Chain A
Amino acid sequence: EVQLLESGGGLVQPGGSLRLSCAASGFTFSSHAMTWVRQAPGKGLEWVSSIGGSGDSTYYADSVKGRFTISRDSSKNTLYMQMNSLRAEDTAVYYCAKDFRREPAAHQFNWFDPWGQGTLVTVSS
């Protein structure tokens, strides 16, 4: 059974940093791209970032580009998101998800399944 377990969320002050982790099991980790999606309280889903199976290709939403860094460690089957210069608008539940494809790209069939249970990040003074 594929399982994804996020951790690392919490309360952080504006301008602070946080690193999220997503431990994966039940599938060949390096054979799939991985993605972070967030959901602000009471709001819809927002794609944040994706990384290819090899870790060589990364993609970011404009809202986090330059502040967030996605990475992965295949030896630990773990996905990461380093979040710096956090803002109040980054407050959300952060989900990791397994991509259908090995490498994310535009103009291709790709979907996210399954998703982790999410970890809450609150940016507030």
Chain B
Amino acid sequence: DIQMTQSPSSLSASVGDRVTITCRASQGISSYLNWYQQKPGKAPKLLIYGASSLQSGVPSRFSGSGSGTDFTLTISSLQPEDFATYYCQESYSPVGFGGGTKVEIK
């Protein structure tokens, strides 16, 4: 089984900060990596697919990069509505999720 490790598991940041979340796969998964945002009590929402493609309607401050084993989700300027939990998901094994990264207000 492929293990997906996200880091950090939580972080505190301020509005306007640049935030970077990392997802590492236990073996190479090419670019078969997606990112989701989940707010409390809500369903996850797709942000990034194929490691770096922005889903329609998602603000351009979100970006994804990486391939192989190391991937990054970046929020260029954190907004109040971005405080949430973020998950990576691989479609190589056929499916697995990272443990999540909770972005909290500093």
Contacts and interface: CB of A to CB of B under 8 A. Distances in A.
Interface of A: 35, 37, 44-47, 50, 59, 95, 100, 104-118
B90 to A, nearest CB: 10
A55 B58 CA distance: 32
Nearest to A48: B95
Interface of B: 30-32, 34, 36, 38, 42-46, 49-50, 55, 87, 89, 91-100
A100 to B, nearest CB: 7
A44 B87 contact: yes
B67 to A, nearest CB: 12
A44 B3 CA distance: 14
Given A45-B44, A100-B49, A111 B34 contact: yes
A44 B98 contact: yes
A108 B42 CA distance: 27
Contacts of B100: 44-45
Contacts of B94: 50, 59, 104-108, 110
